[in-house]
Amino acid sequence: MNFFKKFLPAPRNSRETPQPDEQVALADFFDLLMRHSEAPPNEIETEVDPDTFARLQARVERTWSRLGEEDAHWSVITDNKFRKENIDDTLTDFFDMGEGDVKRLLAALQRAGAQLSRVRSVMDFGCGVGRLSVILSRHFDKVIGVDISASHLREANSCFRSLGIENIQTSRLTSVSEIETLQKCDLVYSIIVLQHNPPPVMRELLSRLCSRVERGGFLYVQIPTYKVGYSYSSDSDLLENTDSMEMHILPQKVVFDVIEKAGLSIREVVEDGAAWNLDFRSQAFLAQRK
């Protein structure tokens, strides 16, 4: 935001006419905001056969286990200051970023009319090294941190122990279908996680996460819904035997369909910029099970 602040006019009485240079800056700013409004749809395969699904899922698991072994904190926020050689000096900044994320979550819940005192159990899906679970544990009675990567969970558990936090449990997931075995929660929260799964896996994750929301409870999930020039086909995807961090999208229409089919009502959709790339449109969806 600091970068853009210089383009924005200072706050002033709305009856004043903007100066010409302010008008140009504002027009540029709105062009940027609306940059994807005339975009064509992305061509995306969102359903695959079970064997293809298993191969895609195995690749996600392999990639994240490796990333967690090599440089766990950096894999969560890919800023060099969080590389393993720097993390002892920057751990406070790392958790401060989590504070900002949870602040946005709490504000969204309040706008949706949630009574926060009634939200007791929270699932932090794709908890990584516990950056968000630690903050969530201060606001809610019980946090369940779930992740596909054993190496991230190891780091998370050691962090919770060193901070003396006792209201976080963790659970390792080996397949998307195992989500059904997790307990239902008043809030299912997942940011910067689903985007690292190919669209067919992302779609299934979303559907299963909806099933873990208690009656009256909430789902808050971040998903990139558009990327300039992106398309997805599992055939060509599986030709590349990559194990580097993947970034995918799920079209907004599919997100709405999955959430509605699972019996939840959408309460809010906000831009969140979590993909850190202007080619992407990333959004946070807040939904509630009635």
Ligand X SMILES: C[S@@+](CC[C@H](N)C(=O)[O-])C[C@H]1O[C@@H](n2cnc3c(N)ncnc32)[C@H](O)[C@@H]1O
Which residues are near ligand X by CB under 6 A? 60, 64, 76, 126-128, 131-132, 147-149, 152, 173, 191-193, 196-197, 205
| Least Cβ distance, residue 193 to ligand X (angstroms) | 4
Q: How far is CA 266 from CA 65, 179, 228, in A?
A: 33, 21, 25
Question: Considering beta carbons, is residue 38 or 51 the nearer one to ligand X?
Answer: 51
| Least Cβ distance, residue 247 to ligand X (angstroms) | 10
Beta strands 280-289 and 264-271: pairing type? antiparallel
| Least Cβ distance, residue 254 to ligand X (angstroms) | 17
Question: Considering beta carbons, is residue 137 or 149 the nearer one to ligand X?
Answer: 149
Which is nearest to 225 in space by CA: 207, 206, 252, 193?
A: 252
Looking up tokens 């580097």 gives: 244
Question: Considering beta carbons, is residue 196 or 212 the nearer one to ligand X?
Answer: 196
Q: How far is CA 21 from CA 26, 29, 35, in A?
A: 9, 12, 21
Question: Considering beta carbons, is residue 75 or 288 the nearer one to ligand X?
Answer: 75
| Least Cβ distance, residue 153 to ligand X (angstroms) | 8
Question: Considering beta carbons, is residue 248 or 289 the nearer one to ligand X?
Answer: 248
| Least Cβ distance, residue 64 to ligand X (angstroms) | 3
> What is the DSSP track for 223-262?
EEEEETT--B-HHHHHHS---SPP-----HHHHHHHHHHT
Beta strands 213-227 and 185-190: pairing type? parallel
What is the spatial distance between Cα 33 and Cα 22, in angstroms, rounded to a whole number? 16
| Least Cβ distance, residue 127 to ligand X (angstroms) | 6
Q: Which amino acid is at 142?
A: K
What is the spatial distance between Cα 170 and Cα 72, in angstroms, rounded to a whole number? 17
What is the spatial distance between Cα 152 and Cα 155, in angstroms, rounded to a whole number? 5
Question: Considering beta carbons, is residue 94 or 226 the nearer one to ligand X?
Answer: 94
Q: How far is CA 170 from CA 40, 48, 156, in A?
A: 41, 30, 9
Question: Considering beta carbons, is residue 7 or 207 the nearer one to ligand X?
Answer: 207
Which is nearest to 270 in space by CA: 257, 252, 258, 247?
A: 252
| Least Cβ distance, residue 270 to ligand X (angstroms) | 17
